Chains A and B, each alone.
Chain A
Amino acid sequence: MGIDFQKYRSWDGTHSSMIKRVAVLVKKEAFLALKSKWVIALIVLTYFLGVVTRMMSIVFMPVKFESSFFQGFFDDSQLWFILMAAVVGSGLIANDLRNKSIVLYFSCLPKSAYAAGKFGVVAGLLSIVVLMPGVLLFFMALLSSSESLANILDHIWILGAIVATGLFITALMSSVSLAISSITSDKRYAGAGIFMIFLLSDIVAGVMKDILKNDRLAMISIWNNIRMVGNQLFRMKLPYDFPWYESLLVLAAVIICSAGIIYWKIFKKEVRV
């Protein structure tokens, strides 16, 4: 392994814009994540259980354009969403901390671009299982529906509700999983943390609500709050006896806390070299 005396050459071309560089980060990290068999399995599982089974029911029994049919997809698939966030989001920052490659990123990208890129990776991959199947389901139902065009157009708002709910879940889960990934340098702990935050809050809320017979305790569960906001968007009856905007406030607080953790860990806390 001797030196091959190739002369070093300068380059005076135009540098790519910051948006393009963030896109490079998103593409590379997403590509690496998609090489994981777990990620592929989760995508397949979500589409099979969430879309294919629903489509089969449509084939045998054409659906009415009712919001509960579409909202049900989000409710039934929560476990797959959580697993996807845990598998994809856990290592995004934790691995860079473990490899100490985070300083290399910071030496060539602003910290804001790094955070945006990492958020883009988890949000992009989550939207594959959260947002896209919902939209796909809507158009499949549209194609197989026997209802009149006028009736379908009357229910076009459901597509808006699907997109809004999907984006909201994606943004929430992305920020939570990124925040937890920035806390530890071990992706296993981060993955367990993400899983626990969603599942444990659900279990605790269920137990406490049953013991104390107080509907408001359902607010402890992140998923109950998502369900409340989702039902409001899909114009359905609220599952708990408190205003939906209180749930929205809780979820907004979760997102703000997550953003605060990311800001503290990436922007304020010293990066060791």
Chain B
Amino acid sequence: MLFSTYRLSKYYGSLKALNELTVEVERGTVGLLGPNGAGKSTLLRILLGLIEPSEGSYEILGNKNGRVTMDMIGYMPEHDCLPPGLTAVGFVSYFGQLSGLPYDVAMERTHRTFDYVGLGEERYREMGSYSTGMKQRVKLAQAIVHDPKVVFLDEPTNGMDPEGREEMLSLLKDLASMDKSIVLSSHLLPDVEFVCKNVVIVNNGEVVTYGKVEELLGAQTLRVKMYGNERDFVKALKEKGCKVSGTGSEFMVEGDDAVSKVWNAARDTKVQVRYMGFHSRSLEEMFIDIVEGKNGN
């Protein structure tokens, strides 16, 4: 188990940032998704031990309520947090030592980690002059230099150019292949889809859905364009147990044996089917459906 929460709540006055959030997340790569104000950052802050929950309990790597040894955790914040007067080497080796690495090991691992994240000679320069992409690489190096078991990443590709973003995502995927658990909080759904095997979707302080990305996206939908009386057609499909969304002459149809049900409904309601094809949802579409409650959740 990577982390679990049980009826975890956090109140700010009358505002409920987390509302009895309960979830059990397996080790591996997990994407934390949700619209702004959904409670992602609050959940992340509680898991990192930066704030106390108002109610409920949580566990990380089997340790209750933040008693996890901090050496096991790496954290890459979203915002700029690099002290301007330090070089990248000085900064990462310093935080490596604070995380428990002896001096010589910290120095060696700092250079290895910079090689790994792709920061060259710039590592000897003061960080005040770094580009956003370089800062993101330094922050990632800081988060992984001490070889943590789980890495929390908050919007790791924020402000990066397309090439840098691709490199960052490849690094994260590579890290995940080395038995590291990754908790990735991002509003860029393709990033989560690329890196994560599991996803937790949070909305209004509650877990809306949790599961494997593959399974959540696995249910293929049928895209149908028709001509005729759409009201009768939709009614007929629903009577046959299909889930139908969309308006006008174009519908998305979900359900067992959807193809034959569409043909039967078309025959029964005397409409023409002008297009029918399978359509795989992207995480983005699934997210929008779930958050807007369109999938029946």
Contacts and interface: CB of A to CB of B under 8 A. Distances in A.
Interface of A: 1-4, 6-11, 13, 15-16, 21, 24-25, 28, 32, 95, 99-101, 103-110, 270-271, 273
Nearest to B118: A3
A1 B119 contact: yes
B261 interface: no
B142 A104 contact: yes
Contacts of B83: 95, 99, 101
B118 A103 contact: no
B215 interface: no
Interface residues of B, number: 55
Contacts of B174: 8
Given A11-B147, A15-B71, A273-B77, A2 B97 contact: no
A124 B151 CA distance: 34
A6 B133 CA distance: 19
Interface in B86-143: 94-95, 97-102, 105, 109, 112-113, 115-120, 122, 133-134, 142
B118 A1 contact: yes
B178 A10 contact: yes
A24 B97 contact: yes
A1 to B, nearest CB: 6
Given A1-B133, A2-B167, A273 B44 contact: yes
Interface in B131-174: 133-134, 142, 144, 146-147, 152, 154, 164, 167, 170-171, 174
Nearest to A24: B97
Contacts of B102: 13, 16
Contacts of B146: 11, 108
A25 B82 contact: no
A48 B84 CA distance: 34
Contacts, number: 120
Given A3-B171, A273-B154, A24 B84 contact: no
Interface in B57-82: 70-71, 73-75, 77-82
Contacts of A95: 83
Question: Chain A: interface secondary structure?
Answer: loop
B49 A108 contact: no
B90 to A, nearest CB: 8
28 contacts: A1-B164, A4-B118, A6-B116, A8-B113, A8-B175, A9-B109, A11-B105, A15-B71, A15-B99, A16-B102, A24-B97, A25-B98, A99-B83, A99-B84, A101-B81, A103-B48, A103-B77, A105-B98, A107-B48, A107-B50, A107-B73, A107-B74, A108-B95, A109-B70, A270-B45, A271-B50, A273-B44, A273-B77
A7 B95 contact: no
B104 to A, nearest CB: 10
Contacts of B170: 3
Nearest to A11: B147
A8 B98 contact: no
Contacts of A101: 81-83
B85 interface: yes
A270 B116 contact: no
Contact of B178 (A8, A16, A100, A108): A8
Contacts of A13: 101-102, 105
A57 B62 CA distance: 67
A107 B167 contact: no
Contact of B99 (A103, A108, A110, A270): A108
Nearest to B154: A273
A16 to B, nearest CB: 5
B15 to A, nearest CB: 13
B98 A273 contact: no
A25 to B, nearest CB: 6
B51 interface: yes
A124 B179 CA distance: 42
B269 interface: no
B41 interface: yes
Given A21-B97, A107-B48, A1 B134 contact: yes
